[in-house]
């Protein structure tokens, strides 16, 4: 916990800090009780895209989607299941102006990244290389103005701090507005993201290993599209890391 100024202490006294999710008094951005209810993504999951499998079902190294080889990124991983308190955390973070939640969310994502750098418990034939740069999935400038912040950029900052990799918040651009992905079905999501992203300066990407950070991965269509433009600009590897992952779609 960083040292607080007298003004912050006074404000704490006036408005005692609360958990960003359940609103009970808590010095931390999320209380221990809520945090303990995050359901971590655990084995078995798809080696490529990190999608959790039903532990009762027959396991295979890759999910159906990855067997079709549709994704352009090299690997993706997520920290928690997008359900219950995990989903409430994302909603509070994104829609209820609780940017302080980026700290505990990003710290958990960094733990996942470190695990994968070490080979993901023997799951990966090739572990992730250390990224040269972290790039958050961008919002359209209009959405960012309305929200006041890009949630992916806040997560990227925390991850970058924790693993010691520089963050370039403007490496990727959203070059045209998209409909909110959450309002669309699976097929429309893939259409909606087509041509929506660009790379600000392709020179800065060529030959580099990029870790793309976002809050939630659902179908993977957004991350796939971002990976496509990064690869086109010459990125050597593109890895994706999200806080949450939807289980069924």
Distance CA 247, CA 149 (A): 27
Q: How far is the CB of 144 from Zn ion (least distance, A)?
A: 27
Question: Which DSSP string do the residues of 24-73 spell out, in sequence order?
Answer: -B-SSSS-HHHHTT--B--SSB-TTT-PBPPTTSPP-SS-HHHHTT---S
Task: Out of 29, 38, 49, 197, name the contact with Zn ion by CB under 5 A.
Answer: 49
Q: Given the complex with Zn ion, which of 199 and 226 has the nearer CB atom?
A: 226
> Among 24-32, 96-104, 133-141, 239-247, which window interacts with Zn ion (CB under 5 A)?
24-32
Q: What is the closest distance, in whole angstroms, from the C-beta atom of residue 49 to Zn ion in the complex?
A: 3
Q: How many residues bind Zn ion (CB under 5 A)?
A: 11
Give me the least distance between CB of 6 and Zn ion, in Å please: 27
112 vs 77: CA distance, rounded Å: 8
Smallest gap from Cβ 123 to Zn ion, in A, equals 12
Q: Is 81 in the site for Zn ion (CB under 5 A)?
A: no
Q: Does 19 bind Zn ion (CB under 5 A)?
A: yes
241 interacts with Zn ion by CB under 5 A:
no
CA dist., res. 159 & res. 163, Å (int):
6
Contact status: 158 vs Zn ion (CB under 5 A): no
Helices 84-95 and 102-117: crossing angle in degrees, nearest 10, is: 120
Told to check if 66 binds Zn ion by CB under 5 A, we report: yes
Task: State the minimum distance, in angstroms, from the CB of residue 23 to Zn ion.
Answer: 7
Least Å distance, CB 98 to Zn ion, is 11
Work out whether 154 is an interface residue with Zn ion (CB under 5 A).
no
Contact between 63 and Zn ion by CB under 5 A: the answer reads yes
Asked if 31 interacts with Zn ion (CB under 5 A), we say yes
* The one among 34, 108, 153, 184 contacting Zn ion by CB under 5 A: 34
Q: What is the dihedral of CA 87, 90, 93, 99, to 10 degrees?
A: 130
Close Cβ partners of 54 (under 8 Å, ≥ 6 residues apart):
none
What φ, ψ does residue 22 adopt, rounded to 5°?
A: -105, -5
Q: In whole angstroms, give the CA distance from residue 8 to residue 30.
A: 18
Instruction: State the Cα–Cα distance between residues 41 and 243, nearest whole angstrom.
Output: 10
The residues that touch Zn ion, with contacts defined as CB under 5 A, are 19, 21-22, 31, 34, 46, 48-49, 51, 63, 66
């Amino acid at each position: 916990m960083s040292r607080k100024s007298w003004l912050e202490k006074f404000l704490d006294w006036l408005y005692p800090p609360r958990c960003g999710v359940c609103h009970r008094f808590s010095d931390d951005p999320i209380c221990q009780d809520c945090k303990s209810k995050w359901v971590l993504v655990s084995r078995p999951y798809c080696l490529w895209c990190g999608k959790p499998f039903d532990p009762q079902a027959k396991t295979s190294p890759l999910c159906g989607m990855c067997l079709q080889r549709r994704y352009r990124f090299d690997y993706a991983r997520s920290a928690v299941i997008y359900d219950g308190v995990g989903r409430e955390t994302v909603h509070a973070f994104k829609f209820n102006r609780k940017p302080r939640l980026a700290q505990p969310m990003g710290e958990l994502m960094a733990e996942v990244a470190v695990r994968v750098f070490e080979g993901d418990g023997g799951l990966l034939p090739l572990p992730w290389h250390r990224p040269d740069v972290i790039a958050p999935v961008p919002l359209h400038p209009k959405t960012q103005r309305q929200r006041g912040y890009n949630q992916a950029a806040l997560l990227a900052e925390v991850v970058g701090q924790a693993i010691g990799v520089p963050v370039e918040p403007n490496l990727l651009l959203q070059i045209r507005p998209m409909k909110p992905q959450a309002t669309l079905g699976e097929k429309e999501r893939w259409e909606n993201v087509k041509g929506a992203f660009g790379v600000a300066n392709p020179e800065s990407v060529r030959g580099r290993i990029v870790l793309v950070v976002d809050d939630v991965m659902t179908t993977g269509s957004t991350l796939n599209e971002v990976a496509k433009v990064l690869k086109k600009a010459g990125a050597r590897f593109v890895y994706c890391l999200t806080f949450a992952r939807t289980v069924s779609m």
